[in-house]
Structure 1
Amino acid sequence: MDVVDAHCHIISEDQARYPRAPIGGKQSAWAESRPVTAAGMVTRMDEAGIGRAVLVQATTAYGYDNSYVLDSCRSRPERFVAVGTFDPLRPDAADILANAVGDGGLAGVRLFTSGSTVPTQGEWFAAPEAFEFWRRAGELDITVCLQMRLGPATKQLRQVLERFPDVRVLLDHIGYPDIAASPARAGADVAELAQHQGLFLKLTHRNLERLYDAGNAAADFLEPVVAAFGADRIAWGSNCPAAEQSLPELLRLAEDVLAELPTADRQAIFAGTARRLYPGLTEEGA
């Protein structure tokens, strides 16, 4: 099966060339304890049978300095494309964005509004100061990854999607829906967002582990979400090495949880959607 990893992270061993500058001022535990270089990621991809991957900036290691993912993609364009962390509140954000994508090297950008080192959900991504960024992102036809938590900022997410319907927004980890509490309730809440045609979902181990634990009840989440969005708006990402499991284990987890979906849906989730979101991906590679 054709597989594209839509969400993995790399960290260089060379801290002089690529100094750490984590958002929030604190490096994440995984970045300290189990970093993986670009070369190491290629080895893991080969072990798992994954040909292409999206290198998502390790924000909790490098903040807004996207140098390492850019350099890694330039040295291995047959394996990687890069998504860099971006600050949309800068007065010159729109112009910087235009220079950063395309020939600038980035296939997409990521807004990091909440995470392990930023526990409070930020709502700044929907502030008026960010409107010019969103408008330009639509004009440039690029994918914007949004790391956020549904619930605290769902209202702001809807506002952005309604104001800028031409922008492709890829929701990291599906916004951390509370699948453990109720797969059915979480599924209904996520499915309701499908009315916004610009919204795509990134399915990672943070969701898949909860679905695996739910057993047969996992269908109460998956069925309404896949029916509402369609598999061509859902992409799988490993979150390696932030996840503790190996890359082959993370892929098997996804295959197990999604085993009951039709073959065409699984192919879209494991590769097709990522290739649509990031046209620079090809079917070359391992």
Structure 2
Amino acid sequence: MKYDIHPHVISPDMDKYPLNPLGGKRSAWSSARSLTGAQLIAAMDEAGIDKAAVVQSSTTYGHDNSYVVDTVAQFPDRLTGVCSVDLLADDAVEKLQFWHERGCTGLRLFTTGSTMPTQSTWLNDPKTFPAWEYASEIGMPICIQALVVGVPMVRFLLERFPKVPILLDHFMQVDLTEGAPYAAGDPMFSLAEYPQVYLKLTPISVAAVKTGKATAESFFGKAIEKFGANRIAWGSNYPASEGSLPTLLGDAEKALSFLGDEDRSWIFGKTAAELYPSLA
């Protein structure tokens, strides 16, 4: 079984699904190409991907997860949803419960990215704690897109909410150009001591190991040594990352070809199934 924990869907119907990007500016990739739920399923079939956790495109729709949940409802045997919610809002728990009841079994917090290039500082604001407590109660994993400078905030949340699985998107976009031993990634690697921390391996990570003195074997090898393959999961970032879904999967498989079958089976499937039991 192959699972993808980071595709996006974008509807061409902007009347039914209006734009409201976080940061006030739509991402360039979502402006250039849409991807309907049916097109995603077709791409998954072509790539040999069995199931997927569809991640809300925060740089397209902000906190309105309507298209994600409509897509999940259309293909419930293949997909689950990962929603976006404003955790600083007074009704954050109610909104999270609402989207959860409509098919979202994960939450993503977008604290930096293409339309918000600096690291936001609200991540561990006390106003967010009720939503974290709710996620802890229902066992909902939370993806965090953050930079390495955000590690202290992540550590604070790990200490306060030890039952919430936390996925770090794109390996926190660590600068790998200096090569092994990847000192720039030490803050991220230090989080391996928390058993609820997972790493999400995406095309951004695959591209990074081709820069400077980095190599796939030395960097991903260190990540597996620290976290274990059972705490790393692959996500395509399709269609935000350029290329077809089969190509993106093939690139990741090539980068991890030095691993044994068991480690690869965790990264491309079994870890995702543990994080999102509804898919399994």
TM-score computed with the length of structure 1 as normaliser: 0.93
Structure 1 residue 260: deviation in Å?
0.9
Q: What's the CA shift string for 1:194-251, capped at 9, x where partnerless?
A: 0011111100011111224568733321222101111111100010000011111111
Structure 1 residue 67: deviation in Å?
0.2
Out of 168, 171, 174, which is 1:174 matched to? 171
Match of 1:278 in 2: 276
Tell me, yes or no, if the aligned pair for 2:108 and 2:142 is still in contact at 8 Å.
yes
Tell me, yes or no, if the aligned pair for 1:188 and 1:225 is still in contact at 8 Å.
no
1:1-286 map, 5 Å: 2-101=1-100, 103-151=101-149, 153-185=150-182, 186=184, 188-213=186-211, 217-282=215-280
Hey, what's the Cα distance between the residues in 2 that align with 1:95 and 1:65? 14
TM-score computed with the length of structure 2 as normaliser: 0.95
Hey, what's the Cα distance between the residues in 1 that align with 2:122 and 2:9? 27
Bigger Cα displacement from structure 2, 85-94 vs 164-173: 85-94
SS at match of 1:7: coil
Hey, what's the Cα distance between the residues in 2 that align with 1:191 and 1:237? 20
Structure 1 residue 190: deviation in Å?
3.0
SS at match of 1:124: coil
CA RMSD of aligned residues (A): 1.6
1:63–1:183: structure 2 CA closer, same or farther, 3 Å change rule? farther
Aligned length: 279
Structure 1 residue 262: deviation in Å?
1.4
Tell me, yes or no, if the aligned pair for 1:191 and 1:225 is still in contact at 8 Å.
yes
Tell me, yes or no, if the aligned pair for 2:145 and 2:169 is still in contact at 8 Å.
yes
AA in 2 matched with 1:109 = L
Q: What's the CA shift string for 1:141-185, capped at 9, x where partnerless?
A: 00111111112x111111111111111111111211112233422
Q: What's the CA shift string for 1:32-75, capped at 9, x where partnerless?
A: 11221111111111111111111100111100000000000001
Hey, what's the Cα distance between the residues in 1 that align with 2:185 and 2:113? 22
SS at match of 2:109: strand
Tell me, yes or no, if the aligned pair for 1:88 and 1:133 is still in contact at 8 Å.
yes
1:251–1:183: structure 2 CA closer, same or farther, 3 Å change rule? farther
1:215–1:54: structure 2 CA closer, same or farther, 3 Å change rule? farther
Bigger Cα displacement from structure 2, 138-147 vs 91-100: 91-100
Q: What's the CA shift string for 1:8-46, capped at 9, x where partnerless?
A: 001011111111111111110000112211111111111
- Structure 2: any 5+ residue segments left out of the alignment? none
